[in-house]
Chain A
Amino acid sequence: MQAEDLYDSIRTGLIAMLPRLKRFADLLAGERRTGRALLSRALKSMLAGEHRYQRGTALDIWAFAEIYQQWLKELRDHAGQAKTDDASFERLFPNNSGETFDTFTAMFLSSLPPQQRLTLLLVYGERFNPVEAGQVLDVTPETVGARLVRVTASLADQLRERGPLPAGAASAG
């Protein structure tokens, strides 16, 4: 493939993946405004440096990894991450009338470090296997597996402690 065709394919692929990229960036940043700004900078970097894309790599794995690396770089540059508030995180979930909103799970996700949140997203949301999720987050598959067990078990513990909700309260999670 000639470089120009490859470049077009990357751009087309990124456009098609935008909703998934937004979800990734929003969950990484913990809120929408910061997530969109991060995604915008990461996309510019990806399009300016499409030569970094290695043939044979799945585009989604590459794009997620680029966003994550951009976030890490900015984290280092700014010496820390601003804490996001629960209300901003809750707004990541659509609040359409008639749909249930699982506040309990949303708050649980909000309390997690971004790396753990992304591990869950990549495996349970994107259906990546631990090897692929590890490629995005630059960790071993064993680390991905350990995070899944730890976080899922933690949520299960909290659900057990909370106990069953009274009838009619399910929508509040």
Chain B
Amino acid sequence: MTELSDDLLVAYVDGQLEQKQTSALEKVLAQDDVIARRVGTLKDAHRRLETAFEAILAGEEADAVAQPVPRAPGLFIARETLLKSGLAAAGIVIAAGLLLAGYGWPLAAPEFAARPAAMETVGSLPADWRKEVARAQSLLSRTSLEIGADSQSNPDFIAFQLGEAIGAKLTPPDFAAQGFRFTRAQILTFDGETLVQLLYLGPSGAPLALYAKKGGDDAAQQVMRYDAITGLAWSQGGVDYFLAGESDEASLRRLAEAVRSE
């Protein structure tokens, strides 16, 4: 008879063994009735435990359907915060813009974030990618596609089109001295207003994005953080700017200074 520990057999029953170990163990099971019976009993125990926990959850879910959580009044009163202020609206715009820029959706709560494939059954709330993508797509308009790839290398043409789009003078700033090269520009729309996105790439890391829209009075710089993304917002010369990237705050301030001095 082969001696195999319960540690190994439970790992096998739980599906925790590597393929090679599993194959080796299954050869033993085919030849050793005692081990095979032990594995059979461990599988029975495993199945009973899973079934028991599923049964309790099924009961709780049935109760939840029968007695839904009151929306109001009560402990869980949903607050309507989305788009409640201009800043929040700007945040959504920027967040969706960041998604379009390839950063991912920075406003998504961690519990809604996609998890690694190996952990996807762990039980966090699933993200509804369609909802997030739809929000991002709402920033696109027909104008978004009118600056073609063939025009991206012509700064004067881009400056003209962007200026026309937001109704204010806007020249893509040159961040070459800071190590970022201009890659492309895009016109977005939010709440009926035109928004410009300028994308830059450094020698490594995620893109840097400068967003601009027609604004009001000059306003001082304000730092915002969305998970790994740091943003710097300010208003200058009738344009609202938002610079966003994975750079630190000091680096962003230096880049913003380059914009201010253009």
Contact = CB atoms under 8 A, between A and B. Distances in A.
Contacts of A11: 76, 78
Contacts of A124: 46, 49-50, 53
Interface residues of B, number: 54
Given A1-B106, A8-B78, A22 B53 contact: no
A26 interface: yes
A19 B109 contact: no
Given A19-B57, A121-B53, A58 B42 contact: no
Nearest to A120: B49
A4 interface: yes
A9 B109 contact: yes
Contacts of A19: 57, 60-61, 63-64
Given A22-B60, A124-B53, A16 B125 contact: yes
A12 B109 CA distance: 11
A1 B54 contact: no
* Chain B interface mostly: helix
B138 interface: no
A13 interface: yes
Interface of A: 1-2, 4-20, 22-23, 26-27, 43-44, 47, 55-60, 92-94, 99, 101-102, 104-106, 109, 120-121, 123-129, 132, 145, 148-149, 152-153, 155-156, 159-160, 173
Contacts of B59: 92-94
B88 interface: yes
CB-based closest 4 A-B pairs = A125-B53, A59-B111, A94-B59, A9-B109
Interface in B110-168: 110-112, 115, 118-119, 121-125
A165 B107 CA distance: 56
A1 B106 CA distance: 7
B180 interface: no
Contacts of B75: 43-44, 47
A60 B124 contact: yes
B27 interface: no
Given A1-B109, A58-B124, A160-B41, A105 B64 contact: no
A114 B38 CA distance: 26
Nearest to A130: B16
